[in-house]
Amino acid sequence: MPSSSAPLVVKLGGSLHASPALADWLTALKRYPRPLTIVPGGGPFADAVRAAQPASGYDDETAHAMAVLAMEQYALALANRDDSLELAASRDAIAAAHARGRIALWRPSAMVAAADDIAPSWNVTSDSLAAWLAKKTGAGALALIKSVDVVDGALLNEIVRKGVVDSALPDYLDGTPLFLAGPSSLPRAAAVLADGVPPGAAIANFPTRKFA
């Protein structure tokens, strides 16, 4: 059971990079009363790495490192558009941002490069990296904000099968409560977050709980 002061990790999908919903999600996330860390998706930057791989011939380990750098590119873009987000490349930097009452925006490359428990594979996307960070930072829950909806109580293996999340996610969650927020979650997201509740549908056997 997470403690009442446990932080929340939110993966902000790269698919939202050009969507009007991105600004609305950022506004809603600022309402969360507890420590919050945003994990950026890879978006078009990671898509470019994937598209270039066949012609350039780099292996999957190199592609994975490049895709993590793509997440950093998205983080820089987000930080540039919203100065309430504080870039953080380590657990200490994340904790320091929280101590200042700021939202931490993860720059993942240094921590991922130093980790021996992250597989360098296209199966390990920002979904799984967000779950990994949630465990490393003692988060009470993980919320994935995406451009698709799922029903409350959806089974994790089913959303993996449908490609909504990456196939490695179950291995990296390790019991962390998981929520998935899509377009239908956005209208109520600010109110839900302000009440200390992660947005979106609770996945599998992870019930909605209030961290307050």
Q: Whole-model pTM?
A: 0.92
For residue 121, report the phi and psi dihedrals to the nearest 5 degrees: -140, 155
Domain boundaries, the chain: 8-202
The predicted pLDDT at position 204 comes to 80
200-209 pLDDT, tens per residue? 999 985 444 4
The predicted pLDDT at position 209 comes to 44
145 close to 16: Cβ distance less than 8 angstroms = yes
20-46 pLDDT, tens per residue? 999 999 999 999 999 999 999 998 999
Q: Look up residue 148 and give its two tokens.
A: 């698709």
Whether residue 3 has pLDDT greater than 70: no
CATH entry 3.20.20.70 includes domain 8-202: no
56-76 average pLDDT score: 96
Q: In whole angstroms, what is the distance from residue 100 CA to residue 23 CA?
A: 23
For residue 77, report the phi and psi dihedrals to the nearest 5 degrees: -65, -40
